[in-house]
Amino acid sequence: MTTPFFRMPAIHTDALKIDENADYLLRQYFHNHSDYFDAITELFTGIEDYALGKEFLAAENDWLNELSDEIDNMDRNEMPPLGGNPVPVMRRLLADTPELSGDALIQGIKEAIPLLDFVEGDDEKTLSNIDKRCELGYNTVYPIYCKPSDEAISSALAADTSIGFLEIEGSWFIYLHSSGSDMSVDIGYGYLLVDDCIPNNILSGMPYQEMNPMITEAMNAYFNGVQL
């Protein structure tokens, strides 16, 4: 049974020499699943570059069929948690609205597979999005006990949080890469993903209005099981 616990809420970055020692786990995660994200980029590029219409749904569309098969046949290690095949999603969207614009189609795919929100049809734009998520928005980080799994990183991305994870000399930390009104919620969610509990001093500052549905579900499961 999970229980809340107390921990130092934050460490100043100057004490850790983050600029010299930090290893941002999102970059390693992206590299480990590069085959999957390369396939997504190829699809998004195709959507942006070619005319859209019912021909995208045709069974003889070899490019789409091959891309879809490539994604479906990826090994477990290549497919990130919460990833999925966007080709069937795209076909459903076009079946409903054949004249859908490229931008609207990509947005529809990202809504169906939220993990893909940071991926673009241009490698440089995707890497820029990753770089932005690997910059500290504040001069504090939050210690965690365990190394974040791929499941934790995927969940933080899919829930559109403002948190990331980094490693410094064998220790792991949550950090905020951007500001917002729900920062303590995001930090609490990060603790829940990695350590399966939320520090009391983070918990006490968490606002609960307008939480992301994915975070709300995780929080409800936590609070239903917690022993206070």
150: nearest Cα among 213, 215, 83, 214: 83
164: nearest Cα among 182, 148, 145, 184: 148
Residue pair 56/106 in contact by the 8 Å Cβ criterion: no
Question: What's the pLDDT tens digit per position in 191-213?
Answer: 999 988 877 777 766 665 556 77
Its pTM stands at 0.86
Q: Is the pLDDT of residue 2 over 60?
A: no
Out of 69-73, 101-105, 165-169, which region has the weakest mean confidence (pLDDT)? 101-105
Q: Look at residue 3 in the predicted model and tell me its pLDDT.
A: 47
Give the Cα separation of 204 and 198 in Å (integer). Answer: 10
Segment 105-129 mean pLDDT: 95
Question: What's the pLDDT tens digit per position in 81-95?
Answer: 999 999 999 989 988
Give the Cα separation of 70 and 84 in Å (integer). Answer: 12
Question: What's the pLDDT tens digit per position in 50-76?
Answer: 666 666 666 668 888 999 999 999 998
193: nearest Cα among 228, 227, 221: 221
Give the Cα separation of 97 and 56 in Å (integer). Answer: 12
Amino acid occupying residue 55: E
Segment 183-188 mean pLDDT: 85
Contacts of 35 (CB under 8 A, 6+ apart): 74, 78
Q: How far is CA 63 from CA 40, 42, 69, 206, in A?
A: 13, 10, 10, 47
Give the Cα separation of 64 and 44 in Å (integer). Answer: 11
Contacts of 207 (CB under 8 A, 6+ apart): 181, 182, 184, 185
